[in-house]
Amino acid sequence: MKICVLVKEVPDAAVEKRMDQSSMRISRSGERNLNPFDTHAIEAAMQVKEGGAVDVEEIVAVTMGPESAFRALHKAVSLGADRSIHLTDEGLAGSDVCATGYALAKVLEAESPELVLLGQQSDDGECYTIGAVVAEHLKMPSLTQVIKMDVADGKLTCERQAEYGYDTVELQLPAVISVGDAINEPRYPSLKAIMGAKKKPLDTKSAGDAGIESDRVGEGGSRTKVLAINPPPAKQAGEIIEDEDTAETVQKIVAWMDERKLLA
């Protein structure tokens, strides 16, 4: 079985993401890293491989993004992927969810994996949706927010929390699964794996290489247009206490609650 894992480079969570009030633009500077949810997807792939229920020939990490995104692939490979594919092209910049899903599906089509895994959300937006978009293009069954996954006999048994409690769903392979962070505890890469990551095959593809129709991607292929970007409705900033002396902190909290008659 071949498993493809979709990964994404996102701004580091520790770096403040802010809007520049004068230019009304989002600051995209700062450190970038592998989307934390994607590390769970790679770990899930590794656990299928190591679980022994099926024979996994290879795990392929796939990303779409600017040149710098190869770092996310290095990280993915250091966590266990065997090789990686970087879809990068000027023409892809500004792609919306629909266009991004289509472009990734074109890369996956050529790989024809039996299982596609991804993180259920990215730190920088597009929650929950990309997996279902990719699955629709590939005409595969899919499930998002999966927290338990067993593979056997050409099918997956998955569990997830939905509107009314926990659902158990059976999917026939090939399938697209986006995983939640409760599915596993990702391992830390060994120093050897980090050092070896650059030596594993990395295939860089342009949109043309992947057979992507240029009018379906990028800003021109997008079906939505941002008319305006504004600050959110003003909310009065709350009071912040840095805990230095806990006894004092606790007295401040009690006084605050008492003032609001919450301790009556």
Site for other proteins in 159-188 (CB under 8 A): 160-172, 175, 180-182
Nearest of 123, 114, 113, 143 to residue 131 by alpha carbon: 143
Q: Site residues for other proteins, window 107-166 (CB under 8 A)?
A: 124-137, 139-145, 147, 157, 160-166
Contact track, other proteins, 17-56, x by CB under 8 A:
xxx------x------------------------------
Calculate Rg over the CA atoms of the chain. Answer: 22
Q: Does 216 bind other proteins (CB under 8 A)?
A: yes
DSSP state of 124: T
Q: Does 204 bind other proteins (CB under 8 A)?
A: no
Contact track, other proteins, 72-111, x by CB under 8 A:
------------------------xxx--xx---------
β-bridge mates for residue 167, sequence order: 160
Please report where in the chains the tokens 């830390």 appear, as a residue.
Answer: 188
In terms of CB distance, is 52 or 231 closer to other proteins? 231
Q: How far is the CB of 166 from other proteins (least distance, A)?
A: 4
Q: Which residues contact 124 (CB under 8 A, 6 or more apart)?
A: 10, 11, 17, 35
Rounded to a whole number, what is the largest CA-CA distance in the chain?
Answer: 69
Nearest of 175, 168, 160 to residue 117 by alpha carbon: 175
Q: Does 228 bind other proteins (CB under 8 A)?
A: yes
Q: How far is CA 165 from the centre of its chain?
A: 24
Q: Tell me how many residues contact other proteins (CB under 8 A).
A: 83
Stated as kind and residue range, the H or E segment containing 87 is strand 83-87
Q: How far is the CB of 144 from other proteins (least distance, A)?
A: 6
* Angstrom distance (rounded) from CA 225 to CA 242: 42
Q: How far is the CB of 205 from other proteins (least distance, A)?
A: 21
In terms of CB distance, is 129 or 204 closer to other proteins? 129
Q: Site residues for other proteins, window 244-263 (CB under 8 A)?
A: 246-247, 249-251, 253-254, 256-258, 260, 262-263
Nearest of 60, 89, 2, 73 to residue 33 by alpha carbon: 73
Which stretch in 34-42, 45-53, 201-209, 242-250 sits in contact with other proteins by CB under 8 A?
Answer: 242-250
Q: How far is the CB of 234 from other proteins (least distance, A)?
A: 12
Residue 232 has a CB neighbour count (10 Å cut-off) of 6
Q: How far is the CB of 56 from other proteins (least distance, A)?
A: 21
* Angstrom distance (rounded) from CA 225 to CA 228: 9
Cβ-contact 102, 212 below 8 angstroms:
yes
Q: How far is the CB of 118 from other proteins (least distance, A)?
A: 12
Which stretch in 10-18, 30-38, 62-70, 78-86 sits in contact with other proteins by CB under 8 A?
Answer: 10-18
* Angstrom distance (rounded) from CA 200 to CA 69: 16
Q: How far is the CB of 29 from other proteins (least distance, A)?
A: 13
